[in-house]
């Protein structure tokens, strides 16, 4: 059923973000400068070291190998998502994402005897990897299929093995293989976590939707208009993010003819392209709620 109020427009205050191709070019330039070939070569070095140590463990202790293989498998899934974000790619749009996600969801939390001294460290590392995976899966979910990755602006601290086991490095220095593997896993985790924190800083001016200010907007299920400091050329492709509830709604569109100029600000007029019925209905419901709230506020003001 078509949205009969598709072209009904309503003036309201809301938090939103409109990204043009120029904005994405700025992001791409900053991202490529931060994550160059040297960064990915260092990451590959850390990954290779883990694989070499795991291979040595497999030959000497197959039982222990299963535990560390499972830890590394989850770490590599997180690492794979991180790498594609750093390359400006949405992991969800890649062909093997579903298979990787399914395999990760089959992972089980390791169990230990109460007497195990290393258990708190391994469980702490497992939980940290689990939290990191969930964080990126949330970014994928709320970013939808857009090119703007809506990272939380909050950086993650380094994983501190000393909070769980005081002498891990000393054991690794004595060539105790499980300790060496744990050190290598933690080193890779912290190296890539540092890069992810840097990526969050790059995206924060656009992606921190909790900090988007309320602005005047004329909105309908078919498009929007607003006043901006910078005008956009006609037919500029844009990605629109409308904060209607806890997460933004993503809609793509193109700018139309330039509108009015008011106090040195230009009116930007956007027509949504191929907006789904779900997107249009969500905008329609949001406008209805605003209409009702404004009407009730007006009635209360006039009854006073």
**Does pLDDT of 258 surpass 80?**
no
CA-CA distance, 158 to 51, in Å (whole number)?
22
Delimit the domains of the chain by residue range: 10-20+211-303, 34-209
Average pLDDT in the 102-112 region? Answer: 93
Flag whether the pTM goes above 0.75. yes
Identify whether the C-beta of residue 284 lies closer than 8 Å to the C-beta of residue 3.
Answer: yes
Residue 301 is predicted with a pLDDT of 85
Residue holding tokens 């093995």? 161
CATH architecture under which domain 10-20+211-303 falls: Beta Barrel (2.40)
**Does pLDDT of 241 surpass 60?**
yes
Cβ-based burial of 57 (10 A; exposed 0-12, middle 13-18, buried ≥19)? buried
pLDDT in tens, 271-283: 999 899 999 999 9
**Does pLDDT of 4 surpass 50?**
no
Residue 260 is predicted with a pLDDT of 79
Measured over the CA atoms of residue 108, residue 113, residue 115 and residue 116, the dihedral's sign is negative
Mapped onto helix, strand or coil, the DSSP state of residue 118 is coil
pLDDT in tens, 59-104: 999 889 999 999 999 999 999 999 999 999 999 999 999 999 999 9
């Amino acid at each position: 059923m078509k949205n009969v109020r598709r072209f009904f427009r309503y003036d309201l205050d809301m938090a939103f973000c409109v990204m043009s191709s120029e904005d994405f070019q700025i992001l791409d330039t900053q991202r490529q400068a931060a994550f160059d070939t040297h960064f990915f070569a260092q990451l590959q070095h850390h990954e290779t070291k883990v694989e070499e140590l795991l291979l040595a463990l497999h030959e000497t202790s197959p039982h222990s190998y299963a535990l560390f293989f499972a830890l590394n498998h989850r770490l590599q899934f997180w690492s794979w998502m991180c790498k594609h974000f750093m390359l400006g790619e949405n992991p969800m749009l890649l062909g093997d994402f579903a298979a990787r996600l399914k395999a990760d969801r089959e992972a089980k939390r390791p169990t230990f005897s109460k007497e195990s001294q290393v258990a708190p460290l391994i469980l702490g590392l497992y939980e940290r990897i689990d939290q990191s995976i969930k964080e990126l899966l949330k970014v994928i979910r709320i970013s939808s299929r857009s090119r703007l990755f809506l990272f939380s602006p909050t950086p993650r601290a380094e994983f501190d093995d000393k909070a769980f086991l005081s002498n891990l490095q000393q054991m690794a220095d004595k060539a105790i293989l499980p300790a060496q593997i744990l050190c290598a896993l933690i080193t890779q985790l912290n190296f890539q976590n540092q890069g992810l924190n840097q990526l969050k800083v790059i995206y924060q001016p656009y992606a921190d939707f909790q900090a988007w200010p309320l602005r005047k907007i004329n909105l309908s299920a078919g498009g929007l208009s607003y006043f901006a400091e910078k005008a956009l050329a006609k037919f500029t492709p844009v990605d629109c993010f409308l904060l209607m509830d806890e997460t933004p709604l993503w809609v793509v569109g193109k700018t139309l003819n330039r509108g009015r100029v008011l106090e040195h600000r230009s009116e930007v007029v956007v027509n949504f392209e191929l907006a789904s019925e779900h997107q249009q209905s969500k905008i329609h419901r949001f406008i209805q709620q605003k209409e009702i709230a404004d009407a009730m506020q007006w009635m209360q003001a006039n009854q006073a």
